[in-house]
Amino acid sequence: MKPARTILISIPPRRLTVNVRHRPGISTLSAPRVTRSSRRFNSSLAVEPNSSSRNVEHSLFGAPASNMSNHRPQPTRKESTITPMSEYEKLIETGVLRGDEHQTRIIQKLQDLHDKLVDYNPPKIPEVSPSNSLLSRLFTREVQIPTTPPETAPKGLYLYGDVGTGKTMLMDLFYKTLPRSVTRKRRVHFHAFMIDVHKRVHAAKIAMGFNGGDPILPVARDLANEACVLCFDEFQVTDIADAMILRRLLESMVNFGVVCVMTSNRHPDDLYKNGIQRSSFIPAIELLKSQFDVTDLDSGTDYRRIPRALSHVYYDPITPENTREIDKVFNSLTSTDPSDPPIHNRVLHTWGREIVVPESTSKIAKFRFHDLCGQPLSAADYLEVTKNFGTVFLLDVPKMGMDSKDMARRFITFIDACYESKTKLFVTSEVPVYKVFSDEDSGSKPVSDHLRTVMDDLGLSDQAVGTSSMFSGEEEVFAFARACSRLVQMGSKEWAETAGHG
């Protein structure tokens, strides 16, 4: 490896500190079975579930918090035996997973990276100047910023494959078994990560003030201080804003010694295909291919096609009888803790907006469809809902057609948030819930070739999806079919037994 080149930047004698509140994100778990204890490792933006509040408030340009030191506690004998391979074998022995030779080879890659991380000592992260002003350059000392990855840093992993290949299960298993010596770590759904990054970049620009400067480098520095091992789930690039940030953010984090493990539906060469100014994103693609072990997860086994007994969490049509039944379930679940009774019109705050929750305890919420999907809410709003409530009741979901495309898109976004947060969902709907997008006369309209391909990939039948002419673009069709697949899975007995943290 070539010697690391360095560039010189300046550091002011006094640091400018801006506090940015973490937005906990979301994550998924695709394994056929999950124990409740494993949920602690699904926290998206938290370093550890029992971390103190000082990890929630962080300094954008300040020095690392005391808990981010390079102290490396020695694992006990029991802890040192917990590895990706041992946990995978245990899941097979207990019948939670089925043996799969291809997946075993993937687990071996996770095991190899695990072994390298045991002895990995991340380099100290240099401080980054929030200002490029002449005054700052004249009265500050010079520090060196690395422009190549540390020689001691192991390569990251980029795991890609279709829906149903067990990507999220592998990610969770790896994160759960990270060596105890890795004290700075983060497991995050990529969508939540980008929401957090955009907030940090915005705060950096404000901190830099009128003179401006580069906001990406200090953000990368902060992220590297918080986690030397970063696990991304469902890495994707869909718009120019993300593409321009990621190109330099990933490079800076890798140069700071951050080891990343990513899952994605696409090979790096297929990321941001046909995107605006894609040529500017090519260096990021080359970085992924050169600094990551790119591995295909497809083995012919679709773990979502394993039969599961459906649990009664969806009620249709909307009748007085079904309304009474769903009310009974809500009353039963909310009456278990007398100190936490349901209250009306609880208010959640997100991005400067308020979300009113019509009825909820601290862990269980009930909404009408119009409350969530008939309002101009975003993915960040739905993440806030699923962060606060482990169980959500959504009532009166209508059948949606071309005249309600915006509501349908929001409903899909909400489903994704629930799925990725392992939220337990109860629904009353006009038609079977995974057919709410179907056209009125679906039988007379042939399924498009692209939708048919996606349905085959997801293991969905015509009965489980129907047809819908409101979704036409490639990404829209995939999101629609994936939502149907997730609704089927979230209606399973297994999901009902393991989902929800309330």
Q: Which domains does the chain have, with CATH numbers?
A: 6-303 (3.40.50.300), 307-498 (no CATH)
Distances (CA, A) of 228 to 289, 399, 439: 20, 46, 49
Q: What angle do CA 126, 60, 180 make, to 5 degrees?
A: 65
Query: What is the number of helices (H) and of strands (E) in the chain?
Result: 17, 15
Q: Shortest CA distance to 163 belongs to which of 498, 485, 408?
A: 485
Q: Between β-strands 364-368 and 391-397, what pairing exists: parallel, antiparallel or unpaired?
A: parallel
pTM: 0.53
- pLDDT for position 83: 93
8 Å CB contact between 373 and 407: yes
Which helix (H) or strand (E) covers residue 355, if one does? strand 353-360
Distances (CA, A) of 149 to 69, 133, 288: 20, 28, 13
Distances (CA, A) of 36 to 189, 488, 496: 19, 21, 12
- Bridge partners, 232 (sequence order): 188, 262
C-alpha span between 124 and 122 (Å, rounded): 7
Region of 251 please: left (phi>0), alpha (psi -120 to 50) or beta. alpha
Neighbours of 375 (CB within 10 A): 13
- pLDDT for position 359: 96
Give me the half-sphere count of Cα atoms (radius 13 Å) on the Cβ side of residue 461: 4
- Residue-wise burial string across 356-371, b where 16 or more C-beta atoms lie within 10 A, e elsewhere: ebebbbbbbbbbbbeb
Based on its alpha-carbon atoms, the radius of gyration of the chain, rounded to whole angstroms, reads 24
Tokens 């009306």 identify what position? 344
| pLDDT values of the chain reduced to their tens digit, one per residue, 502 residues | 444 444 444 444 444 344 444 433 333 333 333 333 333 333 332 333 333 333 333 333 333 333 333 444 454 434 447 899 999 888 888 877 777 777 888 899 999 999 999 999 999 988 765 554 544 544 445 567 888 999 999 999 999 987 667 788 888 889 999 999 999 999 988 888 988 999 999 999 888 887 778 899 999 999 999 999 999 888 888 788 888 899 899 999 999 999 999 998 889 998 888 788 888 889 999 999 999 999 988 765 555 444 455 568 899 999 999 999 999 999 988 988 889 999 999 999 887 788 999 999 999 999 999 999 999 898 889 999 999 999 999 999 998 877 788 898 899 999 989 988 889 999 999 988 877 876 654 444 555 554 555 455 444 445 544 555 555 556 677 777 778 778 888 887 778 777 775 4
Sheet holding 185-189, edge to edge: 185-189, 229-233, 259-264, 156-160, 292-296
